[in-house]
Amino acid sequence: MTHHNQSRGPLRSSMITQGIDRATHRSLFYAMGHCREELDKPLVAIVNSFNEVVPGHIHLQALCQAIKLGVAEAGGTPLEFPSIAVCDGIATGHQGMKMPMLSREMIADQIELMVVAHGFDAMVLLTNCDKVTPGMLMVAGRLNIPAILVSGGPMDNTSFQGQRVCYTDLIEAEGKVIRGEMSEAELTEFEHVACPGCGSCAMMGTANSMNMLTEALGMTLPDGALIPATYGARIALARRAGKAIMELHNRNILPRDIMTLKAFENAMAVDMAIGGSTNTCLHLPAIAREVGIPLEMDKFTEVAEKTPHLTLLKPAGKFFTMDMYNAGGIPALMNELAHFKLIHPDCLTATGKTVGENVAGRKILDDQVIHRVETPISPKGGLAILRGNLAPEGAVVKSAAVASEMLVHGGPARVFDREEEALEAIFGGSIKPGDVVVIRYEGPKGGPGMREQLMPTSAIIGMGLGKTVALVTDGRFSGATQGACIGHVSPEAYLGGPIALIAEGDRIEIDIPARTLTLAVDPQVLEERRKHWTLPESTNIPKGSLLERYRRMVGSAMKGAVLE
């Protein structure tokens, strides 16, 4: 690995801070209390996604101050500006869930806007939740100025009625109330303790999946993914990141030096080993596209074939993010994968060192939480890409979270053109063991916004149908999803994909080990249905709205649902 040691050229920020014709620019900085000495140093953007809406972001102010201190100590001038962040948990189950995927693009765009407008030399991206982390990685690749990510870290888990629990257990408890297995009073008690404080939800959701993959890519410091949100070590890491960005700047190490094809292969290998969220199949291709790397779905299949599944966190398993941190975290996992040549240890990272140097000596401290390669949970990775006449372009399933009896399943389709209708049917008791629930017109264009189907999947589990009912959708899933849930079916229904032609009662066959998804209907019958197919009224949206613009521009889920 050749490290960049060339001296950097003139500061980008000199175009706004230096020269006689920049007196007005300097004066504007003086108006904010800065002095000339600060303007002669590298200007470092501290992009802070703090807000008072998202538990994963409520505590970021302290981390932001620590980052600024680190930057100043290492010879830079830190300047903070905000980023939006959506809480998928609060947005789920209603029209708000149309917004999170769209927010990923907006986060990248607004950071690009601020950095270009103000001539920054480098940036520290303070992130945490589902779309914020990928949006920030996208813009790091797009702008290609020195950049490092700092996450807010995961929430602590807690206890309820003597059991260790987190957010995902609460979702399933709602179904228990409907079935009479829990009282409403108990549910009220549970909801007060399930999320005990700040941080990203303490499970293998998209937030923690993406933070782990950021570490695997090399874009954050070691242990950046899993140090708990409440630990002093998280603040110390933020301060170290402030110093690290100055090292990256001084050595001219750029995001595209770090986020190479080999780095993405490392991230995919870690993704398979952790059984990450299916949303990673949306975000990794979108990030790779920003650095000019085409990341096809077949690449996920290729990596899954050779990478064993080694961890099983909530909701699929019984362990929490805290357990994985205590078991050695991502460095221990990557060291284990490196030992068996399943990752590339020579990739450069945000420490200025290689992956191999970063993880050397890190050991698995609890092999019940992080299994060893010789004794995996499964010999193949925790995500699978399915294809067949129902998904010619592909579909995604978190195979790690599927009960063994549901790996191969066939049954009658129960068809719904919107999430709300499906939810009503599941809670109403009209979905029977053996059924395949189909939720369509929820894709990137159809939604628009590709809503997460967390509530229907949780309802299936809560109603005791997790081992007998499958769900197929052109929408996407939360990382909190478990069960035979197949998403991203492409082409989507809005574009007239085969999922749009399914009729109530059609037989759907799912074979996850064989990677197939089949609609058992004669092709001529489907062709006849296509002649009479029209878009349902439920897909109508107001002209000129943000969502209408998104619908016009967004591409296929199989290519990351990026704006074309």
> Would you name the residues annotated as active-site residues?
478
Q: CA-CA distances (angstroms) from residue 562 to 90, 279, 292, 553?
A: 24, 13, 13, 8
In the block, tokens 């620019």 appear at 25
Q: Distance between CA 231 and CA 199 in Å, rounded?
A: 11
Q: Which residues contact 460 (CB under 8 A, 6 or more apart)?
A: 426, 431, 437, 466, 469, 471, 483
Q: How far apart are CA 287 and CA 383, in angstroms?
A: 19
- Is residue 121 a contact partner of residue 249, using CB atoms and an 8 Å limit? yes
Closest CA to 151 of 118, 129, 131: 129
Report whether 121 contacts 13 (CB < 8 A). yes
The secondary element (H helix, E strand) that includes residue 38 is helix 36-39
Helical (H) or strand (E) element with 204: none
Amino acid letter for position 538 = S
Cα 501 to chain centroid, rounded: 30
Is residue 145 a contact partner of residue 120, using CB atoms and an 8 Å limit?
yes
Strands 436-439 and 408-416: parallel
Q: How far is CA 300 from the centre of its chain?
A: 15
| CA dist., res. 366 & res. 110, Å (int) | 42
CA distances from 112 to 122, 141, 142, 301 (A): 12, 11, 8, 33
* Vertex 140: Cα angle to 454 and 289 (nearest 5): 70
User: How many whole angstroms separate alpha carbon 48 and alpha carbon 234?
Assistant: 15
Cβ count within 10 A of residue 23: 8
Asked if 220 contacts 126 with a C-beta cutoff of 8 angstroms, the reply is no
Tokens at residue 481, please?
A: 């999803």
